Structure formats: structure tokens, C-alpha cells
Amino acid sequence: MENQRIENIINELIDQYTYADTSERPWIIGFSGGKDSTVLLTLVWMALKRIRKKMPSPYQLRRPVYVVCNDTMVENPIITEYVEEVLAQIEREARNQELPIFVKKTIPKIESTFWVNVLGKGYPVPNNSFRWCTDKLKIRPTSSFISEQVDFNGEAIILIGARISESATRARSIKKHEIKGKRLTKHPNHHNTYVYSPIKDLYLEEVWHIIRTFESPWKFNNTKLVEIYTNASADDYECPTVVTDKSHTSCGQSRFGCWTCTVVKQDKSMTALIKNGEEWMKPLLMFRDSLEKERNVSENRMATRRNGQPAVTVDGHRQGNYEPFYRAKKLRELLELQKEVQKTKPLIELITNQELIAIQVYWYRDGIFDFKVGEIFAKIYGRDIETENANIENSIEKRLLKTACNENEKDYELINNLLTLQHSKNLILTNYRFYKIAC
């Protein structure tokens, strides 16, 4: 019965791809590397291979399938490493098997990344009432790619791995948008875009059955995914029907996300990973906890928001952006954390050089000249980062400026700060272009 339900989904995918829709509207699969998106891509891949076998004409595989993975740049490092490996394998095997599957990775714009917002602009870290991260880090980057496809093709279809049995909230959402007798529903936010949920009726047990028993069509070892979920499962999570004897550990239904996430009070998956051997992650959890604990400390916050509006409660508690000293303090702690983690995991980068440059630019724009990103970085790493000209103190222009100001220290500092601000603007424009090309 279980396998028959899975066969029905594959047959439905074949029908939808080939017969029910004769257009060439691209399919876009949101791929996180988690269990549901892995199962969704597995079944789509199997459907495409059967279409190829039954109808060998190349025209039958005319519709491109984009596997779109959104990287928030603060994903759980364990998942990031796993997803990078999986995406590379998907890309290789899609070419080897001559399937129209294409991997696309989206990232936030440099001015929208988590650290540029928190440490650069001084945004308080997200919570349930101010959850700015979802839009800036996830929705906007992927929306840009979807809009590009709609502009080019006229329409697009998004395949999602949502399941009714996940939660009551997810069930309500699916039922709210579905149209009886129709596989496709209109996307609530994207023009000329449709949503297709092929695995919506699968149960958790069936999802794990596919992952455990079906061979990965892109020839990847699914045991790695099972191990990740096993190690990240809190004590109160399990998927009992796939545990056939006492030798099986719980595969769990843990949710992975950003290691910096402060929307939840406790990061259960990271706590479980540490408990199950990933002890190098403990400093990350401690840093994340400090962000959550210090979020509403009045001394860390300004009396105004970025738009200049007052942000002080009647009892005098400040709720504006982070104070400059606090931004600098957390940047210092983050870089120290990164350096410590890199002793064990040298390839892990918690914050990029481009973000460091952008943070410095926002500090200058906010009139913050007492703290320098380059100085903080150099003190921790013992080397320079290109945030400003290392030789500026000895430059001819500097000496001429001092002479022109007749040694008036206030005039000199004001003009020098303005010149530094202009330099930082040119610097981020240069590095931003490089950053876009590199990605």
C-alpha cells in the first residue's frame, strides 16, 4: 500500500509534466536539503527518467526543472556542508543522465545579510514580533529568481514539499489555497506563478521510507541525511514507524535553520548535535544564546530607530537600534568565535569579507568613527582586511589636509571623516561588483 501511494505520485508527476500541461513553463523546486525537499526531488527525478525511457524523443523533456537552494549565509554549518555536497552531486548527475535539471543557488544582497543588518545597521536580532529575517534572507532572494523566470517564460510553476500531516498550521495553509480537482493553485504573491504540492498527502513514515529504501537517483548516500536528523533530534521527537527494532535510532523530525536564529527561545537541533558529538558547535550556540539574551537590554539600544523616530517606552526603556559600542562588541566576539571554530573547521566562514566592508560603510553612514572594522579584524587575526587604505596616515593628501586646516584638530577630523566616508562608498561599490560576479 505504501509503495502504491508513492507510485501514484510518480505517475501524477509524469502526467503533469507531459500531458496535463503541454506548455514549457519551468518547474522550480525549492530545495533545502531536508527530508521533504529530498523526497520531492527524488520523485520528480524518477518521473523524468521514466518519461525518457517510455518516450525517448528529446522533446518530451522540454520543460526545465530548476533546483533552487536559498543560502541565508547563516545556515547551520552542518547543513551547509551537507547541502553543498548534495548540490554538486545533483548537478553532476543531471548532466551525466542528460536530464533538464539545473541547480540554482540564491543568496541575500550584501545590504540585506544578517550580519550587515545586525552589526552594520544595528537592527535588533529577530523575534516573533519583528521577524525581518525571513523576508530579507529567504523570500527576496528566491523571489528575484522566480521573477526572472516569469519574465523570460511568461509563467512558472513552483513545486513545494509541503505536507498536510506536518502540522495543523501547514494543513490549514494547503487547504486554504488548494482548488478541488486542480493540481495547480495560484501563488498568493507572485504574478503568473503557480504552486504544485505533489507530496502533500504523504505521511512522515512514508517520507523516511523513501529516504531509507529508495536509491538516490543522483547517486548520493542518503544515510548522511538520516544521520544528521538522528544527531539533531531532541528527545521528544521521533518517527516511530520506521524504527523496526531497538537497534534503530530515532530519525526525528528536527527542523534546521539559521544557527543565529533568535525567533525560538532554544535551538533544540543545535543542542542535540552538540550532545551527539559535534562539540565544536558549542561556542556557536553560546553566541546565539547571548544574542537572544542581550536583545532587549536597554543599555545596548539607542533611543531612536533608523528612520529617526523615538523608540523609548514610558518607563524609559530604549527600543531603538543597537548602540555603536554594542555593534562593535558583537563583531569582535563573532570574529573571535570564527577564529576559534576555524581551528577545528578551517573552511567555515561565519562572516564574509564583503559583509565586513559593508558593515564599515554603514558605520560611517551612521557617523560612527570611534570603531573601525579593520582595527577589530587586525587585532584578532593579526593581519589587515581591505576596509580602508592601510597607508592613508602617511599619504601626501593627509599631510596637505593637516596643513590646510592649520593644525585645527576639529576641522581636520571632520574633513578626514568625510573623506573616509567617501572612500568606503567607493570600496563597497568595487567589492559589491566583485561579490556579485563571484556568486
CATH code at 164? 3.40.50.620
Which position has the higher pLDDT, 52 or 122? 122
User: What order of strands is seen across the sheet that includes strand 193-196?
Assistant: 101-106, 65-70, 27-30, 156-159, 193-196, 184-186
* Nearest residue to 281 via CA among 353, 228, 221: 228
CA distance 255 to 270: 10
Whether 329 is covered by a domain: the verdict is no
Q: DSSP code of 73?
A: S
Phi and psi for 2 in degrees, rounded to 5? Answer: -60, -50
Single-letter amino acid, residue 124: P
Residue 247 has pLDDT above 60, yes or no: no
Q: Which three cell numbers stand for residue 229?
A: 536528523
Whether 428 is covered by a domain: the verdict is yes
Residue 383 has pLDDT above 50, yes or no: yes
CA distance 204 to 253: 8
Q: What is the pTM of this model?
A: 0.81
Residue 166 has pLDDT above 80, yes or no: no
Q: Which residue has the cell 528536527?
A: 254
Tell me whether residue 286 is exposed, middle or buried, using C-beta atoms within 10 angstroms of its C-beta: 0 to 12, 13 to 18, 19 or more. exposed
Q: Which three cell numbers stand for residue 100?
A: 533538464
3-state secondary structure of 228: helix
Which tens digits make up the pLDDT trace of 86-98? 999 999 999 999 9
CA distance 237 to 68: 28
Whether 116 is covered by a domain: the verdict is yes
Alpha helix stretches (DSSP H) within 294-372: 324-344, 353-365
Average pLDDT score over residue span 167-189: 70
Among the candidates 171, 196, 221, a domain finishes at: 221
Task: Please name the residues in contact with 101: beta carbons below 8 A apart, sequence gap of 6 or more.
Answer: 45, 48, 64, 65, 66, 67, 90, 94
Residue 287 has pLDDT above 70, yes or no: yes
Domain that holds residue 362: 353-366+384-439
Average pLDDT score over residue span 146-167: 89
Q: Which of 55-64, 108-117, 135-144, 236-245 has the lowest mean pLDDT?
A: 236-245
Output the pLDDT for position 398: 52
Among the candidates 221, 239, 259, a domain finishes at: 221
Whether 414 is covered by a domain: the verdict is yes
Task: Please name the residues in contact with 172: beta carbons below 8 A apart, sequence gap of 6 or more.
Answer: none
* Nearest residue to 43 via CA among 178, 157, 202, 234: 202
Q: Which of 50-59, 176-185, 406-415 has the lowest mean pLDDT?
A: 406-415
Among the candidates 206, 221, 236, a domain finishes at: 221
Whether 325 is covered by a domain: the verdict is no
How high is the mean pLDDT of the chain? 84
Whether 39 is covered by a domain: the verdict is yes
Output the pLDDT for position 181: 59
Phi and psi for 321 in degrees, rounded to 5? Answer: -70, 165
Which position has the higher pLDDT, 410 or 236? 410
Phi and psi for 65 in degrees, rounded to 5? Answer: -120, 115
Which position has the higher pLDDT, 425 or 231? 231
Output the pLDDT for position 64: 96
Are residues 69 and 106 in contact, defined by beta-carbon separation less than 8 angstroms? yes
Q: Which three cell numbers stand for residue 292?
A: 537572544
Output the pLDDT for position 388: 44
Task: Please name the residues in contact with 115: beta carbons below 8 A apart, sequence gap of 6 or more.
Answer: 73, 74, 334, 351, 355, 359
Which tens digits make up the pLDDT trace of 119-156? 999 999 999 988 999 999 999 999 999 999 999 999 99
Whether 208 is covered by a domain: the verdict is yes
Are residues 183 and 16 in contact, defined by beta-carbon separation less than 8 angstroms? yes
How many structural domains is the chain composed of? 2
Residue 381 has pLDDT above 80, yes or no: yes
Average pLDDT score over residue span 345-352: 94
Average pLDDT score over residue span 411-437: 52
Are residues 131 and 263 in contact, defined by beta-carbon separation less than 8 angstroms? yes
Whether 245 is covered by a domain: the verdict is no
Average pLDDT score over residue span 383-396: 53
Which tens digits make up the pLDDT trace of 307-348? 889 999 999 999 999 999 999 999 999 999 999 999 999 999
Hey, which residues does 194 pair with through a beta bridge?
Answer: 157, 186
